Amino acid sequence: ESHAPNATIYSATTAKQDPHYVQARPSLIAKMRQADMAMCSGAELEVGWLPMLQTRSSNGAVQNGALSMIYAADFVRMLDTHDHVDRSMGDIHAYGNPHVQFAANDIIPLSQAMTKRLIIIDPDNAQSYQINGIKFRVHWRKKLNEWHEKAAPLQGKQVIGYHETYRYLYEWLGIKQIADLEPKPGISPTTSHLQSLTELDVDTFDAIVYSSHQDQRPVDWLQQYTGKPVIELPLTVTDGQSLDAMYDQVIDTLLDVLAPSVPEKI
């Protein structure tokens, strides 16, 4: 929980939790009951728990359709949308991949939308929201240029992933996920599927990537067979960490393994 000048901000999930499976616990219902605004990733990422929170809270501010209920996915150019989805496909979202926290270029329109909504909900502090919004977007554009230059060596790298957790990150940085540890999205890795991944030519990928909230055992198993390095990335910000600091951390981690700098010869 953190305090801004005009707001108390509470995060329903932590960096160690799978956002698909959050418990709609009483303390969370209480927070939703008190909320003036709620924000989620959207694209049905929270379909297993958010509707219950909305119903139990009996709070008009957090119901779908309210200006104070914001879904980030509404402001992101969604990847992997599907016209038809059924359960045989695994945990597929018809509206597209919901892991939008790494849709770096869409943070600007999302920030603009947030500023507008905050001004409508709390017009007395409109000037503060406007100034802070502009400051954030200037800083973010500067960081985008910095990241573009810094992450250039990652272009064309290929990895095996766990779920499509980093789909937007890879799209942005020019990395390709050539295989998934899950046999189908949301289905835990199986022995037979992992065995099939050992048949991949090891020259076709550079590392195995997983998130801090995912099971490390299948990652370690495949690493033993292939000898490829393992990269653990954060899912989201940790307590007190800014979004751009997390992006810095992720890019540095990827560069350390996929494109280590060679010391200059004297």
Question: Using CA atoms, how far apart are residues 87 and 70, in angstroms rounded to an integer?
Answer: 27
Cα torsion 133, 103, 159, 209 to 10°: value is 60
Question: Using CA atoms, how far apart are residues 246 and 241, in angstroms rounded to an integer?
Answer: 7
Do the Cβ atoms of 94 and 127 come closer than 8 Å? no
Do the Cβ atoms of 130 and 119 come closer than 8 Å? yes
For residue 129, what pLDDT band results from cuts at 50, 70 and 90? very high
Nearby residues of 10 by Cβ (< 8 Å), 6 or more positions away: 1, 31, 35
Question: Using CA atoms, how far apart are residues 54 and 12, in angstroms rounded to an integer?
Answer: 13
Task: Give residue 90's pLDDT.
Answer: 47
Q: Please state the pTM of the whole predicted model.
A: 0.86
Residue reference for tokens 């605004």: 37
| pLDDT at residue 5 is higher than 70 | no
How many CA atoms within 13 Å lie on the side-chain side of 134? 5
3-state secondary structure of 22: coil
Q: What tens digit of pLDDT does each residue of 160-180 get?
A: 999 888 999 999 999 999 999
| CA-wise closest residue to 24 among 36, 35, 32 | 32
The CB density around residue 3, as the number of other CB atoms within 10 Å, is 8
For residue 264, what pLDDT band results from cuts at 50, 70 and 90? low
What share of the chain has pLDDT > 70, as a percent?
A: 91
| pLDDT at residue 18 is higher than 90 | no
95 or 126: which leads in pLDDT: 126
Q: Tell me what the mean pLDDT of segment 41-55 comes to.
A: 89
For residue 1, what pLDDT band results from cuts at 50, 70 and 90? very low
**Best-predicted range by mean pLDDT (21-35, 70-84, 199-213):** 199-213
Task: Give residue 265's pLDDT.
Answer: 58
- The structure tokens listed for 210 are 């997983």
Q: What tens digit of pLDDT does each residue of 87-117 get?
A: 554 455 567 788 899 999 999 999 999 999 9
Q: How far is CA 238 from CA 9, 14, 15, 95, 212, in A?
A: 14, 7, 6, 27, 11
| CA-wise closest residue to 19 among 210, 186, 251, 174 | 186
Helices (H), the chain: 26-34, 50-57, 107-121, 126-150, 167-173, 191-197, 217-226, 243-258
| CA-wise closest residue to 247 among 150, 126, 135, 129 | 150
